[in-house]
Structure 1
Amino acid sequence: MTDTPDTARDYRDTVFLPKTDFPMKAGLAAKEPAILERWARLGVYDALREQRAGRERFILHDGPPYANGDIHMGHAMNKILKDIVVRSQSLMGKDAPYVPGWDCHGLPIEWKIEEAYRSKKLNKDEVPAAEFRAECRAYAAKWVAVQRAQFERLGVMGDWDDPYLTMNFDSEATIVGELLKFAESGQLYRGAKPVMWSPVEKTALAEAEVEYEDIVSTQIDVAFEITDAPNAPELIGAHAVIWTTTPWTIPVNQALAYGTKITYRTYTIGVSVNAGVGTDVFADAALKQLDGRKILIAESHSDVLKSELEARMRALWGNNGGIRLMTLDDDKAYSGRQLEGVLARHPMADRYPNTFFAKPRPFLPGEFVTTDAGTGLVHMAPDHGEDDFALCKEHGIDPVFAVDGAGMYRADWAWLGGQGSVINKKFVASDGPICSDLRAAGALLAASDDFAHSYPHSWRSKAKIIFRATPQWFIPMDGAQTRFSTSLETNGIGNAASPQPFASSEVEKPFSNGATLRETALDAIERTRWIPVRSQNRIRSMVEGRPDWVISRQRAWGVPIALYVHRQTGEYLADPAVNARIVEAFQAGGADAWFGADHAALLGADYDLADYEPINDILDVWFDSGSTHVFTVEKRYGEGVRANLYLEGSDQHRGWFQSSLLESCGTRGRAPYDAVLTHGFALDGKGKKMSKSLGNVVDPLKVIGESGADILRLWVAQTDYFDDVRVGKEVLAGTGDTYRKLRNTFRYLLGALDGFDDAEKVAVGDMPELELYILHKLGTLDVELRAAAEAYEFNRYTRALTDFANDDLSAFFFDIRKDSLYCDAATDPKRRAYRTVLDILFHALVRYAAPIIAFTAEEVWQARYPSEDGSVHFLEWPELPALPGDDAISTNWADVRALRTTVTEAIEPYRREKTIRSSNEAAVTVPDMPLDEAALAEVFIVARVTQDDALTVTRTDYAKCGRCWRHLPEVAVDGALCDRCASVVA
């Protein structure tokens, strides 16, 4: 040691401070594009395919977004999560290709072209179909290019040069080929069931294309006069009252439904005058018709239904100068069974004799009828309700197709023909034409425009939809179905002819094992891994209760339902030779080949085109996307190969997950995936849905431009994405803090490893306990990260990684060993052991981080190993050194760390009071000594540790070394050197 300080000497040049050009300020927004360019130049994706050829393959099949606008935060979250999965699987040594794709057909794109037409006051129907379809194709191609660049900017690695597009000719040929497989196996029928229909877009919609919004509707109570009642003749002349929130369905009414287990009662309507009011209460002829009328409604406890009906009646009629409505003298109760055989008259029967409205309306038993709302009697319009359709079909009552595709009553309809639209609030309002006519006929008991409820809307046009029976093509869920032709010839009284059944052979059980499509799909659900587990119940319940799949759309931009239907029998042609020619034509010319086809040539010599009608409806776009596994997975990787994972938002349980499941089960008898991962939605920082109108949209492109993609990537990885997640300025600021800590860890490692080479390495068996303990912790982390990656729990993965970097390394290991790193001799075994462990940590951590912060990991790797053709993403999961199997080190050092925390907390008050400015100035006593005094002093970063009954802290009287700044007993005066530093300087 030195007895006196060399006051003129500056020892900084003798201290081994970390040295690196790696900047603390990330500047990601500027750096990342250059890294992307380098990856493209190196062909990292293709190089990985070559390197991993023959390895176990992991296929994440990309769910196709619509090519119709800039990406939003939901897109960014989804694509980043997919990329993290793919990169982590690649890190684990697998061949993990990723083929991005796009949905290019369908209403969202077609609607955009129509909007452009409308802005120019052009009518889409006046534009040649081929020209319109070409515009749709060009629009989709434009946005594919835009979104591709935006997804790549997120750091998503994939086959961007050869993505799949549903509008590629090969894709369209495959899609129609899959449709024809359903046709050949008898799994198609054409029927006139009610489907969700958009009068604005003039097409059927899938459930996944529908969203629900709260609205206020008109509710009405309508009286149907009973004309026959075999089991209760006294009911003849009474009026059965129904309640509905869709007044526009009354002109299409064909029956009334009752509950067999419900008790009904008749009441008599009376009109009275408040005392002292002398107005003529019957000046209103419509009101006069109601006085003394006997009505039939369900009997409910406490007369709830009766009182609710009274309230609704007053809403329509008001006090009218002192008038109030009340029910008088309860008449008689009837069981539901007594209503069997009852007939009623439509309210418009007298006004429109010898038409559809003149036919008696039967009472039908309906299990769905309840007394929860309304009157306990339900009017039946089989054109416009699933329950209505099923019950009426059971009793031989068919749809009449009164409402056209635009929501207007067809021109030849006796009542309100050519009028509408039925979704127009004014048209169906209490003072609109429907209610006005019912009131004049004495059939309107009550009406108000105040019924609040949830109602389905088209997610594209945002307009209300209706249930409407139209001829559509269906895939049956439960085996054989009655097939229908689409004749709409009228029968002379305004009623469309009943759809006629097909003459083709029926298929009770389309699969070799005797299962229906629903049964096959439910079995496939059981055989699939669902992440999180609770999502299995969601899709199971949806498949259990879903109706037959409506696959037809009345639009222009899509894959046509390329079938020929016999004009006389209505049977579709299922000839494999004809179908092969159709697929071949699509391969050459895409879907347009059908619309301009030489149909006689496609039919061939065995069939006469005069006998067959080519179908021009297009396929539901969900059938398109449900078929992507065929032309993306099977065609690239082999017939029978299926994806390891599908990964999309939770809304896809009724969308892509389900359409893919049904398509694959219908053609292959199994699911197209081994596992399905569901994530939630991205909400704003307060947990609200993002909306332009609310001004709370977080634009991922703006975040990337300001902070870089790695911040978004880290945010995604940190979230509990199995549920809805929040993103906003505060959330991203927190992510930024996490990122800076990780970056600082790598910067420290790079600096501390400056000049390190293999010659400096120390064998594990020669390392101090602290180094062995850290390697044990690294091994534990390694197991945790691999398990988290295999479980796709990257929030757990990221938390474990960042906690290790912050708590085990920066706040503990690095803090303790910085003295050795800075001040020990370069050849000192402890310093060499420390740097050896830092090298192991570097190689492990940069790999662990690569799937999450892909750009930064590349920057870190290149900072230490600059290379023209190297990349961190070529690396595989780290191989850690074998450690002694003794767990005593971990247990002992866990005790040391706990004691270190206690000591640090005890010193802190003295630091705040400035009695002790640095922990190096402290002398402490502790009751337990898990290490020797010198080792504990180094771990606690204090001057001295001794043992006593209690923990105490005092200021040391040791002098401070002028080089290492430690207070040590051998330093005579402040500024002199300790023994170690004197030796190193010498």
Structure 2
Amino acid sequence: MTDDTKTDTGIDYSKTLFLPQTDFPMRGGLPKKEPEIVARWNDIDLYKKLREDGKDRPLHVLHDGPPYANGNIHIGHALNKILKDVITRSFQMRGYNSNYVPGWDCHGLPIEWKIEEQYRAKGKNKDEVPINEFRRECRDFAAHWIEVQSEEFKRLGVVGDFERPYTTMNYHAEARIAGELLKFAMSGQLYRGSKPIMWSVVERTALAEAEVEYQDYESDTIWVKFPVRRGVFTETSWFGTKEESRDIAGKAIEGQKALSEAYVVIWTTTPWTIPGNRAIAFSPRISYGLYEVTSAENDFGPQPGEKLIFADALAEESFAKAKLGFERKMDVHTAMLSEMVCRHPLADLGYDFPVPLLAGEHVTDDAGTGFVHTAPSHGREDFEAWIDGKAELEARGVPTEIPFPVDDAGYYTKDAPGFGPDREGGPARVIDDKGKKGDANKSVIAALIEANALFARGRLKHTYPHSWRSKKPVIFRNTPQWFVSMDKDLDGYGLSGAQPEGKDTLRSRALAAIDATRFVPSAGQKRLRTMIEDRPDWVLSRQRAWGVPICVFANEDGEILKDDEVNRRILEAFEAEGADAWFAEGARERFLGSHANEDWRMVRDILDVWFDSGSSHTFTLEDRDDMKWPADIYLEGSDQHRGWFHSSLLESCGTRGRAPYETVVTHGFTMAEDGRKMSKSLGNTVTPQEVMQQSGADILRLWVMTTDYWEDQRLGKAIIQTNIDTYRKVRNTTRWMLGTLAHDEGKEVPFADMPELERLMLHRLAELDELVRTGYDNFDFKRISRALTDFMVLDLSAFYFDIRKDALYCDAPSSTRRLAALQVVRTLFDACVKWLAPMLCFTCEEAWMARHPDAVSVHLEQFPTIPAEWRNDELAAKWKKVRQVRRVVTGALEIERKDKRIGSSLEAAPIVHVTDPELSKAIAGLDMAEICITSDIVITTAEPPEAAFRMPEVAGVGVVPTLAKGRKCARSWKVSPQVGSDPDYPDVTPRDAEALRELKAGGRLSL
């Protein structure tokens, strides 16, 4: 309707219509409105009201995986926190006390690194500052960013206990983390060992797998010749049984001689590890051969006549790389290799020890030579192969001590003769302080060339582990560290009730816990299980200053002091003073008490921060009376299968025998719009601050709700605009309902008396109620948001509201049709706003308060209760057919409008030919003119003329558009021959005349 309603009678009919009236603006103005709502939530203490409202309901707990307190939030934080907020709000509105306690990870290298950067900028030396002063600066740094991030999270709409969050640097938390560490110590799971671990030279600390990322890297590659030692074979390795013919024995003698003059060739991408070589691994599953060089076109390396052993599948490729001609001379069997011993190629530099060949499951013939250079100081598989073969090696007289060839700064040590301190000019270096390659590779390659031990060389681009903090490559080096054993038999430690069958280890417990946990999506279960199945012992120690110390005392042999009184003193001090107590003057004597004169040494390493956050379930879920253990949900990014999900699982299984969670939900990462990784250098980053400033947090929240968040998702200007467009449609539908409900007096029409169209809408609510509740249970937010936005835009705005505007605007106040429609709109508003409230928390709050100005908050409401009688699948099936017919009619009228033969559908009176019996039956008895929003309509079962409008997807319907006959009603704009039939109101239809009389009689309007 427009203002063009004043007629010759002098009546302004616009004032007689129930047109929408609302202060709820069409344009959201979210960047300005949302902070006002956040301020109001703070003023009314919405979090406290939610807890009071739900105090008698069952607890539902999502335990917050702690973000790191060292900078402004990024889009990944926004995705994560919005998902968590939607989950907690949805459970709160479904009958739970769904408490959310935000948390922060505060210890560790990133913060320490920032303080060191500040020191370097000021010319200060960290080593000259008292350690607790340095730790205090780290604590202050973390506290600042916790405050900043708290405000940013609240701006996203997140509601939680920001007044009492958990932080890993809280004194109580530090005491609990230390207590968990002491449990591992007392149960014998903690031990000091020497293994190759990932080491950051730049940061001078050990790294866990969760602390590395894999980046492209170019490595030097070398093929190295290991000379076979003479006289190492027995007859058994050649012909096995005494029944073999002497001819074979004669050939064996020739073969022995040939192999004794041969070289085993290895290939490696880490030349710097050659000084650490102690063995060569082969595979019994691979076919090997002895090859002789027939020609050479290189400046160094093998010459004609040299004999070399290769995997047959890799020989041709390797000889081509070295530009050599070759001829295969004989098979080399596994039995021969198993007895073979080589000489180190740099024996003359001080590496004069036997290099045995060992069978290894990890050896393949996919690349290289079929032999794997084994340096137990520099690789996990190398170390395990060496340890597994230790007894056999010792029986063969091979020394089994593992060297320490590289120090914490990346320099060679005395265990790398010729390259370490004895080298002229000082030790060579693998990686320098800036993460650049040192001169180690160059020095080793030069020495191999000098020793005539290099077969070939090259370069290779491949993925290689880098520290995710410094972004610099790491090295693998053998160092003394503190570990938690994955395979120690715990004999029921930490368990109550039934004991597990078989060997009770941390690994077996963790695998059983994974099987008992729900994963969303389900693929996360397999991923975490694979990681636990294959993982080595847990490296807990870090060589840094900011964190919870490994607060144990150990003797020179690594034996840990197990004394309850000592542990009690430590934990009491940590509770009162924090972990700084460990580093205070006199701490050793204070804690050891009567043991102070014994040879117990304080461990100065700090704990892996993953142990900190992995212990958060203890000081949050167990220790707060508003939480519970285990948590219902842990939700984080997919990288946390090797991070927080992983460490929490191991910590809890090691001390309590089960996981600290019932369900694990995983989300992917946010990529740029084109699918590339977001990068400042590429200029394709999207920050939540920018989106909120320009468009509002609800636009971000809608984006999160409409993505396949279980996978990696994309975000950019076009995607944001798409969500803005969707939001605008939802908002305008909500606005129309608010405007229409301005005329609602709350009158009820019995369900049985409602028109079919109203009962259809109530049926749709019953369908959606099931979908919404199931979707929230399954964390399938895209399904919910898609269903609700489609419902509001397609079912309501473009269908139901479009049809019912005439009745709602023009019918008499007492009209059953109008009252039923008002009642349904009231119900629709209530349901849609509540269902969407967890997702669009600001907009739904604004809409709810516009409708209920005396209410406290929509977030204190419960989802609507939908009566079972509303569900009517038979009615829905019928109206599906009705809407098919309507589609054809509206399609025909759209062409008429486009060609300007009509101005609106009310000028039309189409003839609709329905030849399909099912469709004809569906529309029988219905006012199709009302449904199609025309002034009149003719329904016929006759065949449509050839020129009739049809739609291929709706067979059996043809439409012939014709103009409506009669005059245009000045009030409702319907065209009807009945306009003028009422003498009191000669320019309106009888329906409108009756409405005017009722309005006048009721004193509602002065006409």
TM-score, length of structure 1 as denominator length: 0.90
Q: Does 1:433 align with 2:443?
A: yes
Change (3 A) 1:466 1:5: closer
CA distance in 2 between partners of 1:176 and 1:720 (Å): 39
CA distance in 2 between partners of 1:890 and 1:330 (Å): 79
CA distance in 1 between partners of 2:691 and 2:361 (Å): 55
Change (3 A) 1:860 1:541: same
- Partner-residue secondary structure (3-state), 1:18: coil
Once the 2 structures are TM-superposed, how far is the Cα of residue 389 of structure 1 from its aligned partner? Answer: 0.8
Map 1:235-634 → 2, pairs under 5 A: 235-270=259-294, 290-292=302-304, 294-301=306-313, 305-314=314-323, 325-327=324-326, 329-352=327-350, 357-396=351-390, 397-410=400-413, 413-418=416-421, 419-423=427-431, 427=438, 432-448=442-458, 450-479=459-488, 512-513=499-500, 514-567=503-556, 569-596=557-584, 598-599=586-587, 601-634=589-622
Alignment partner of 1:715 out of 698, 703, 728: 703
Once the two structures are superposed, residues 73-120 of structure 1 have per-residue CA deviations (whole angstroms, 9 ceiling, x without a partner) of: 110000001000110001112100100000001112112222223334
Q: Does 1:940 align with 2:932?
A: yes
Once the 2 structures are TM-superposed, how far is the Cα of residue 369 of structure 1 from its aligned partner? Answer: 2.1
| Counterpart AA for 2:814 | T
| Counterpart AA for 2:966 | Y
Once the two structures are superposed, residues 727-746 of structure 1 have per-residue CA deviations (whole angstroms, 9 ceiling, x without a partner) of: 11111111011111111111
* Structure 1 residue aligned with 2:190: 188
RMSD: 2.3
The 8 Å contact of residues 243 and 375 in structure 1, kept in 2 or not, is answered as yes
The 8 Å contact of residues 403 and 415 in structure 2, kept in 1 or not, is answered as no
* Structure 1 residue aligned with 2:752: 765
Change (3 A) 1:882 1:570: closer
Once the 2 structures are TM-superposed, how far is the Cα of residue 520 of structure 1 from its aligned partner? Answer: 0.9
CA distance in 2 between partners of 1:185 and 1:296 (Å): 52
- Partner-residue secondary structure (3-state), 1:452: strand
Change (3 A) 1:262 1:5: closer
The 8 Å contact of residues 764 and 883 in structure 1, kept in 2 or not, is answered as no
CA distance in 1 between partners of 2:493 and 2:857 (Å): 54
Once the 2 structures are TM-superposed, how far is the Cα of residue 920 of structure 1 from its aligned partner? Answer: 1.1
CA distance in 2 between partners of 1:224 and 1:697 (Å): 51
The 8 Å contact of residues 101 and 164 in structure 1, kept in 2 or not, is answered as yes
CA distance in 1 between partners of 2:902 and 2:156 (Å): 49
CA distance in 2 between partners of 1:884 and 1:444 (Å): 83
Alignment partner of 1:36 out of 35, 38, 48: 38
Change (3 A) 1:933 1:54: closer
* Structure 1 residue aligned with 2:739: 751
The 8 Å contact of residues 99 and 627 in structure 2, kept in 1 or not, is answered as no
* Structure 2 residue aligned with 1:891: 877
Change (3 A) 1:633 1:956: same
CA distance in 1 between partners of 2:861 and 2:356 (Å): 75
Once the 2 structures are TM-superposed, how far is the Cα of residue 821 of structure 1 from its aligned partner? Answer: 1.2
- Partner-residue secondary structure (3-state), 1:648: strand
The 8 Å contact of residues 262 and 335 in structure 1, kept in 2 or not, is answered as no
CA distance in 2 between partners of 1:426 and 1:663 (Å): 37
Once the 2 structures are TM-superposed, how far is the Cα of residue 763 of structure 1 from its aligned partner? Answer: 2.7
| Counterpart AA for 1:246 | T
Change (3 A) 1:816 1:428: same
* Structure 1 residue aligned with 2:954: none
Change (3 A) 1:381 1:765: same
The 8 Å contact of residues 106 and 139 in structure 2, kept in 1 or not, is answered as yes
| Counterpart AA for 1:878 | P
The 8 Å contact of residues 961 and 975 in structure 1, kept in 2 or not, is answered as no
The 8 Å contact of residues 642 and 673 in structure 1, kept in 2 or not, is answered as yes
Once the 2 structures are TM-superposed, how far is the Cα of residue 230 of structure 1 from its aligned partner? Answer: 2.0
Once the two structures are superposed, residues 122-174 of structure 1 have per-residue CA deviations (whole angstroms, 9 ceiling, x without a partner) of: 44333332222112111111111111111110000000000000011100000
Once the 2 structures are TM-superposed, how far is the Cα of residue 972 of structure 1 from its aligned partner? Answer: 4.8
Change (3 A) 1:237 1:712: same
CA distance in 2 between partners of 1:784 and 1:299 (Å): 60
| Counterpart AA for 2:788 | L
CA distance in 1 between partners of 2:622 and 2:175 (Å): 14
CA distance in 2 between partners of 1:957 and 1:175 (Å): 84
Structure 2 runs not aligned, ≥5 long: 1-5, 235-255, 391-399, 422-426, 915-919, 945-957, 998-1007
Structure 1 runs not aligned, ≥5 long: 274-280, 315-324, 481-505
- Partner-residue secondary structure (3-state), 2:199: strand
Map 1:6-85 → 2, pairs under 5 A: 6=8, 8-85=10-87
Change (3 A) 1:408 1:272: closer
Moved more, 774-783 or 637-646: 637-646
CA distance in 1 between partners of 2:540 and 2:508 (Å): 20
Q: Does 1:798 align with 2:785?
A: yes
* Structure 1 residue aligned with 2:962: 954
| Number of equivalences | 923
CA distance in 2 between partners of 1:20 and 1:114 (Å): 58
- Partner-residue secondary structure (3-state), 1:256: strand
* Structure 2 residue aligned with 1:485: none
Once the 2 structures are TM-superposed, how far is the Cα of residue 675 of structure 1 from its aligned partner? Answer: 0.4
- Partner-residue secondary structure (3-state), 1:943: coil
The 8 Å contact of residues 479 and 508 in structure 1, kept in 2 or not, is answered as no
CA distance in 2 between partners of 1:34 and 1:269 (Å): 82
The 8 Å contact of residues 297 and 377 in structure 1, kept in 2 or not, is answered as no
Once the 2 structures are TM-superposed, how far is the Cα of residue 370 of structure 1 from its aligned partner? Answer: 2.2
| Counterpart AA for 1:735 | N
The 8 Å contact of residues 109 and 139 in structure 1, kept in 2 or not, is answered as yes
The 8 Å contact of residues 64 and 103 in structure 1, kept in 2 or not, is answered as yes
- Partner-residue secondary structure (3-state), 1:678: strand
| Counterpart AA for 1:129 | I
| Counterpart AA for 2:322 | M
- Partner-residue secondary structure (3-state), 1:193: strand
Once the 2 structures are TM-superposed, how far is the Cα of residue 378 of structure 1 from its aligned partner? Answer: 2.0
Higher RCO (CA-CA < 8 Å; seq separation 6+): 1
Alignment partner of 2:841 out of 831, 854, 857: 854
Once the 2 structures are TM-superposed, how far is the Cα of residue 463 of structure 1 from its aligned partner? Answer: 0.8
| Counterpart AA for 2:934 | V
The 8 Å contact of residues 249 and 384 in structure 1, kept in 2 or not, is answered as yes
CA distance in 1 between partners of 2:321 and 2:877 (Å): 75
Once the 2 structures are TM-superposed, how far is the Cα of residue 333 of structure 1 from its aligned partner? Answer: 2.5
CA distance in 1 between partners of 2:336 and 2:306 (Å): 17
The 8 Å contact of residues 933 and 944 in structure 1, kept in 2 or not, is answered as no
Once the 2 structures are TM-superposed, how far is the Cα of residue 547 of structure 1 from its aligned partner? Answer: 1.2
Once the 2 structures are TM-superposed, how far is the Cα of residue 791 of structure 1 from its aligned partner? Answer: 1.0
CA distance in 1 between partners of 2:285 and 2:734 (Å): 74
The 8 Å contact of residues 349 and 417 in structure 2, kept in 1 or not, is answered as no
| Counterpart AA for 2:265 | V
Q: Does 1:654 align with 2:652?
A: no
Change (3 A) 1:135 1:912: same
The 8 Å contact of residues 189 and 476 in structure 1, kept in 2 or not, is answered as yes
CA distance in 2 between partners of 1:55 and 1:107 (Å): 42
* Structure 2 residue aligned with 1:499: none
| Counterpart AA for 1:409 | Y
CA distance in 1 between partners of 2:360 and 2:878 (Å): 74
- Partner-residue secondary structure (3-state), 2:937: strand
Map 1:112-131 → 2, pairs under 5 A: 112-131=114-133
* Structure 2 residue aligned with 1:980: 991
Q: Does 1:210 align with 2:199?
A: no
Once the two structures are superposed, residues 472-518 of structure 1 have per-residue CA deviations (whole angstroms, 9 ceiling, x without a partner) of: 111111125xxxxxxxxxxxxxxxxxxxxxxxxx9798864342111
Map 1:141-152 → 2, pairs under 5 A: 141-152=143-154
- Partner-residue secondary structure (3-state), 1:59: strand
Change (3 A) 1:299 1:706: closer
Moved more, 49-58 or 360-369: 360-369
